[in-house]
Amino acid sequence: MAATEFFYTNRPEMVAALVEEIAGLLNEAIAARGQASFLVSGGSSPQAVYDALAERQLDWSKVIVALVDERWVPSDHSASNEDFISRHLLRGPAADATFLTMKTDALNAAEGLTECEARYAALPSHADVCLLGMGGDGHTASLFPHAEGLAAAMAQDSEMRCAVIEAKPSEVTGSHTERMTLTRRYIAAARKRLLLIAGTEKQEVYHLAKACEDSNAMPVSAVLATEIDVYWAP
């Protein structure tokens, strides 16, 4: 298996293509199974995609939106993916979607894992669409290089859907190193995986990750070894 690349000359063109792809996949899932599941990532790169998808007139009441990962911060914090998705995707027609979040009232992610896992049991074993991003350090979701908890999160025989990560502090993580993330296995189980990257620096990291054989050093490399569509624009 290998990545299928969709490279564009500009970001609006890429965003338009991604919106069409995701909307089509969600509609197909609803038609085939009566419900669609959409795993979503935070970050600035997909913002325009979410803003456009929010206005799409599909049957959002039959869509479950679930976070790919989350920083262990209050839901109204500026770094919260829950808040980001609420503001950019779950508005207009898309406000009718069901939203599964990761942050609980637990003091830390480890204590919140059981509840988070129980929430995510509402998702099918194979989510319909998983939209991922990639950091300049080669992470995806909150699968950070050499992070505490990475081995458990990356285990291919894990039955867990969620995992706790304590990332090594860096410019990429900032001060929010305590995370909850989907496991490698559950990401890989999605019917359709999409990776959105933008900029020449990220393109260079992407090519390094494709050639990387150490998924602990560049966790995104494990995802790139599966069937995945990669969308890139300068």
Which residues, at least 6 apart from 24, have a Cβ–Cβ distance to it below 8 Å?
A: none
Q: How many other C-beta atoms can be found within 10 angstroms of the C-beta atom of residue 214? A: 12
Amino acid in the structure at residue 22: I
Q: Is the pLDDT of residue 92 over 80?
A: yes
Helix (H, G, I), strand (E, B) or coil at 174: coil
Range 3-233 has CATH code 3.40.50.1360: yes
Q: What is the pLDDT of residues 138-180, one digit of tens each?
A: 999 999 999 999 999 999 999 999 999 999 999 999 999 999 9
Two structure tokens written together for 92: 């207009």
The band of 2, judged by pLDDT with boundaries at 50, 70 and 90, is: confident
Mean of pLDDT values over 12-32: 98
Mean of pLDDT values over 191-207: 97
Q: What pLDDT shows up at residue 1?
A: 64
Percentage of residues of the chain with pLDDT beyond 90: 99
What's the full length of the chain, in residues? Answer: 234
Phi and psi, residue 47, nearest 5°: -55, -45
Q: What is the pLDDT of residues 33-83, one digit of tens each?
A: 999 999 999 999 999 999 999 999 999 999 999 999 999 999 999 999 999
Supply the pTM of this predicted model.
Answer: 0.98
